[in-house]
Structure 1
Amino acid sequence: MRDENDPKGLIGEAYRMKGIGRAECRSIFLDWALSLTDGRSPEQAIPELLARHEEGDETHPMTETLREGLAAPPRPTRRGGREGRRS
């Protein structure tokens, strides 16, 4: 059965890995996000994946990574340069 929220099974596999760390989870998350198809966005898929996997694994590094994926990106700040100095 094909899972539109985890087409390669990367997230499910991360939850089964013993001793996985945050760095590995972030790498898996990036690969997972790039593998989404059928017009699915991470913002659509993450809540469904959390509902499926986080119960009993609230402190798992992948749970933390998925929650971070739902957070709003930081606001851009002034970067400087000529345009930044012009009024």
Structure 2
Amino acid sequence: MAKEGRSADDPKALIHEAYRIDGISLAECRSIFLDWALSLTERKATEAIPRLLAAHGAPDHPMTQVLNEGLTAPAQTGRRGGRAARVGTPD
């Protein structure tokens, strides 16, 4: 039997549960969002977020703000840092 709130877009039901927590803070929502994003396997967050907002998006909830930020934030591509960033790459 599937856990209540689980879906392909929210496999651990993290977003679902965040909306159920009274008095949850913006920082807590951001932490949950990061855990959620790391739990995605084959789905892209930018494809899942609109569906999650449609299913859960209470306008005055901090998780709604975090999900909207997830849609508007530029996607990070590539690795930042590491040895090559410190010393450069040989030509």
TM range (shorter): 0.7 to 0.9
Greater RCO between the two (CA within 8 Å, min separation 6)? 1
Equivalenced residue count is: 72
RMSD: 1.6
Q: Offset at 1:72?
A: 3.6
TM-score, length-scaled by structure 1? 0.77
Per-residue deviation, 1:24: 0.1
Segments of structure 1 that go 5 or more residues without pairing to the other structure are 75-82
SS at match of 1:52: helix
* Residue type at the aligned position of 2:34: L
TM-score by length of 2: 0.74
Q: 4+ runs of 1 displaced by more than 6 Å?
A: none
Q: Which runs of 5+ in 2 are unaligned?
A: 76-87
The aligned residue for residue 79 of structure 1 is: none
Query: 1:73 Cα deviation (Å)?
Result: 1.9
What is the percentage of aligned positions where both structures have the same residue?
62
